[in-house]
Amino acid sequence: MAKKNVVPEARAALDKFKMEAASEVGVNLKQGYNGDLTSKQAGSVGGQMVKKMIKSYEDSMK
């Protein structure tokens, strides 16, 4: 099943966000395929993204 973007314009912003999160946790992502990452590396990137989203939401509530 192919990925279907609800808002195609958001893809670039999400990719940039993912690259920033990866950089912050010391994971070297490259454009395109990153299937050579370990589960730990991929999880740390995803976890960092979630932390940043939660912080952003909490800051917007103040």
pLDDT digits (tens, 9 = 90+) for 6-60: 787 888 899 999 999 999 999 999 988 999 999 999 999 999 999 999 999 999 9
Q: Cα 36 to the chain's mean position, in Å?
A: 16
**pLDDT value, residue 1:** 52
Q: Report the C-alpha dihedral over residues 35, 36, 37, 38, rounded to 10 degrees.
A: 110
Residues 25/46, Cβ–Cβ less than 8 Å: no
Residue 45 · residue 18 · CB < 8 Å: yes
Half-sphere exposure of 59 toward its Cβ, with a 13 Å CA cutoff? Answer: 6
